[in-house]
Amino acid sequence: MARIIGGIGASHSPTIGFALDTKKQDDPAWKPIFEGFAVVRDWVKRNDIDVLFMIYNDHITSFFFDHYSAFALGVDDTYAPADEGGGPRKVPPARGHAALARHIGRALVADEFDMAFFQGKPLDHGCLSPLSMMGDETGPWPGSIVPLQVGVLQMPIPSARRCYKLGQSLRKAIQSFPEDLRVAVMATGGLSHQVHGERAGFLNEAWDQEFLGLLETAPEKLVEKRLAEYATLGGMEGSEVIMWLIMRGALSDTVTKVHSATYAPSVANIATVVFEDQGDQPSEQALEAYRAHIGYQMAGAEALKGTYPFTLERSLDNFRINDFLHRLVEPAHRERFLNDFAALADEYALTAEERDLIEGRKWIEMIRRGVSFFVLEKMAAVIGVSNPQVYASMRGETLEEFMKTRKVAIQYSVAGGAKAEQIDRR
């Protein structure tokens, strides 16, 4: 089973990545940043950590206000560095542990956390600044990550208590993963800082030290604080330290602090801290009970013939073709789909199998492979095929045969305008 070895807290200021990329290791003004992360890096290496569960917030790079989630879990197997305006950092992509991520996702939903899931999105400095410090002169850190993006930049945001409770569920989720993995939970962000308004530049190092002390020995006192208190004490942006309560909630009640350091050179108090977990592993009986809890809602669905649940695993395995067909909502993409399919498929690196499935209108084969019906519905609308025609094809029937099984023989589509009128005339 997977084990939580400890928890890490680390600031994620762009200052950190900038210092690394511009080789400030020996500059006295920057050296304390590297010294703190060196201890964390050595602890990760010494404890043979396989996976870092990375808790961070994106800075309106990959996640924008058109769809802003409280908790978004990465379920990908690779994560590229994001372009935040001046080009992406020259760091290698991070390797994701997709199987662990899917297990955690199912567990958190089973525990009634309304999770969002992402893939195909790059990581900005919220995750990459501290993660890039885990490598050394020989190369990047060789382990894998599971990223959790917490929406803390648009109100309302999760409370400190909600974050702590999620961490408690995260502990059970990780421990119930059947593969032998050594996991560290790494919370990023903070400490005190504010980067907007007339209060920009605010710091409160006394509060930062109090926060770190309470985090170690009395996290329940931090759980009780309101967001307005965090903003007052640590700055509006500094209130993102509620994410550290996810990490602390994932640890046992008793931890051993093996490292803590802060350094406030400019507009953010840059911190690193390491806690080693002192809790016992749950019994195999308890783990089996929790795994049954995770799978309870869908238990038995596998026996439904002709039914293909769209799981996180199927989503990842078929992201490319689903993404290609989803983009048919874009007028330019669907125009090229109809008139320049080969070149468009080349641009999206579709495999020969994927091209054959699409060009052959192989509806049931695409469903079995892991293509979502709701992108097939869009494809059907583009090529002028009604929904009932697709249903009939998937059942191995003619349209006439399918219509005989309906109360009313009607045709329809998600198409609009002329396409809808074309289907209606049939």
Q: How far apart are CA 115 and CA 246, in angstroms?
A: 14
Do 3-298 and 318-424 come out as alike in CATH topology?
A: no
Using CA atoms, how far residue 367 sits from 106, 319, 345, in Å, is: 22, 13, 19
Residue appearing with tokens 């007028």: 331
Q: How far apart are CA 244 and CA 215, in angstroms?
A: 8
For residue 357, how many other CB atoms are within 10 A of its CB? 19
One-letter amino acid at 363 equals W
Angle, vertex CA 77, rays to CA 191 and CA 284, nearest 5: 80
- In 3-state terms the chain splits into helix, strand, coil percentages (rounded to 5) of 45, 15, 40
281: which DSSP letter? P
Over its length of 426 residues, how does the chain's per-residue pLDDT go in tens digits?
899 999 999 999 999 999 999 999 999 999 999 999 999 999 999 999 999 999 999 999 999 999 999 999 999 999 999 999 999 999 999 999 999 999 999 999 999 999 999 999 999 999 999 999 999 888 899 999 999 999 999 999 999 999 999 999 999 999 999 999 999 999 999 999 999 999 999 999 999 999 999 999 999 999 999 999 999 999 999 999 999 999 999 999 999 999 999 999 999 999 999 999 999 999 999 999 999 999 999 999 999 999 999 999 999 999 999 999 999 999 999 999 999 999 999 999 999 999 999 999 999 999 999 999 999 999 999 999 999 999 999 999 999 999 999 999 988 888 887 776 677 666
Q: Contact 22/139 with Cβ under 8 angstroms? A: no
Active site residue 125: yes
Q: Which of 12, 59, 193, 196 is catalytic?
A: 193
Q: For position 71, what pLDDT does the model report?
A: 98
Superfamily the domain 318-424 falls into = Dioxygenase LigAB, LigA subunit (1.10.700.10)
CATH number of the structural domain 3-298: 3.40.830.10
Kindly give the pairing relationship between strand 51-56 and strand 182-188.
Answer: parallel
Sign of CA dihedral 70, 11, 146, 169: negative
Q: For position 425, what pLDDT does the model report?
A: 67
Give the residue extent of every domain in the chain.
3-298, 318-424
Kindly give the pairing relationship between strand 144-150 and strand 51-56.
Answer: parallel
Instruction: Give pTM, 2 decimals.
Output: 0.95
R_g of the chain, CA atoms, integer Å = 25
Among residues 107, 97, 101, the alpha carbon closest in space to that of 77 is found at 97
Q: For position 411, what pLDDT does the model report?
A: 86
Q: For position 417, what pLDDT does the model report?
A: 78
Active site residue 103: no
Q: How far apart are CA 81 and CA 125, in angstroms?
A: 8
Which of helix, strand or coil describes residue 111?
A: coil
Q: How far apart are CA 385 and CA 59, in angstroms?
A: 42
Q: Which of 12, 97, 103, 125 is catalytic?
A: 125
Q: How far apart are CA 60 and CA 316, in angstroms?
A: 24
